[in-house]
Structures are given as C-alpha cells and as structure tokens.
Amino acid sequence: MARTRSPEFDNIQASIIEKTAALFASRGYAATSIGDIAAACNCSKSRLYHYFESKEAILSEMLTEHVDKLLERCRETLQRHEDPVERFHELIRLFLDVYAVSGNKHVVLLTCLQFLPEDKRKEIVEKQRALIATVRDILVRIRPDMPQDAQVTHADTMLFFGMINWTYTWYKPQGSIQPGELAERAVDIFLDGYRHIAAPKAKSAKRSGAR
C-alpha cells in the first residue's frame, strides 16, 4: 500500500531545496554530499530520501522550479505592459529582484547545470533560451532601425545578460542600494548606450573567386 503524504510534504520539500541551494551555491554540487544536505536539514539521510530520491533529483527540481517561476513572472510582466521600454524596465526589475531574493538558486543555475543528465539539462536550457528571446525581442522593438541580423541582436542581448547575471558576486541587497534601484541603474546604463549606438554597417559581399 502506498505511503500517505504528510500535509506538510510540499513545505518540507521546499525547505530542503532552499537549504540545499545554499550548500550548492557556497560549496559546489560535487563537494556537497547527501550527508551534508541531511545535516543542514537537521534530519537523517533516510528521512531525506523520503522527499527526494537523490542529490541529482534535488538539483533537478530546484532548477526547474526556479526557471519556471522566472518564465511565469516574465509572461505576467509582458501582459501588464505594451511599451517596449516599460517592458524592459519591468523585466530587469524582476530579474534583479529574483536574483536578490533567490540568489542561491541563481548561482546554482549558473554553476551547477552541467551535473544534470543531458535530457533534463536540455529542457532547462530551452527555458533559459525562452527568457533570452523575451529580452531580445524587446530590444528589437526598442531599436527597430537596427538591421535584423540574428548574430547582432543575440550579441546585444547577451551583453546585457552578461551585465546583470554576475551581480551576485558583488551585490549585497542589504546595502544602501536596493534591488529596485540597482535595476533602474542597470536599465539606464544599458539603454542610454543602446539607444545611441550606431547600427552596424552591412558587410559587403565578397567577390566570387576573391582571396
């Protein structure tokens, strides 16, 4: 007969994920054992296995939940705003707020994804690409005069993510700059340059047979 789930099952799972995220973020996935996780959760390894079948299963659930929540909140933001600049402002506020509140999970996403099996890793990467595409499409709308060159728009988008993705290495949300203020500065710094940068010149086609 199947074991009945406790009414607190989901809450306990969520607590395990939060504590494990802190361990993975600080120690790394490979250096964290099931015993370490059990100790952090103040429970036995056998009790831990009641909630997750393996360390890998915790990582998988953690990253899936984190990226799904980001995608859901992105969709909600897009539904509330039509103007591309407003959308850009709100999405960056969202990203930096999530990074500040769920910083450990963000670090794990950036540093531990390779430890998942290939199928699960591909699934999460596809969701990351959907997030990137959302920002890319907004940037295209902000600068419709730019040539529709996929490589250029991808480069612009990734330059932006490169600007914000690693804030966890230095940003302290308990400091004098709040996440919302940081988001405004990031948007202003990026957009002030992006709005004024010249569109790349079209490359001339090489003549046939030219060396």
Residues 126 and 118 sit within 8 Å (Cβ to Cβ): no
Residue 204 in any domain: the answer is no
Residue 166 in any domain: the answer is yes
Extract the tokens encoding 34: 């099931």
- Range(s) of the domain holding residue 157: 56-195
pLDDT mean values, one per 10 residues, the chain (211 residues): 68 95 96 96 93 96 94 91 91 81 86 95 95 92 83 89 84 81 86 77 48 41
Residue 179 in any domain: the answer is yes
Q: Which pTM value belongs to this model?
A: 0.81
pLDDT of residue 190: 87
Alpha-carbon distance 142 to 194, whole Å? Answer: 9
Residue 138 Cα to chain centre, angstroms: 17
Residue 14 in any domain: the answer is no
Residues 24 and 37 sit within 8 Å (Cβ to Cβ): no
Residues 111 and 30 sit within 8 Å (Cβ to Cβ): no
Report long-range pairs for 148-155 (Cβ below 8 Å, ≥24 apart): 149/200, 152/200
91 Cβ contact list (under 8 Å, min separation 6): 74, 77, 134, 135, 138
CATH code of residue 163: 1.10.357.10
Residue 37 in any domain: the answer is no
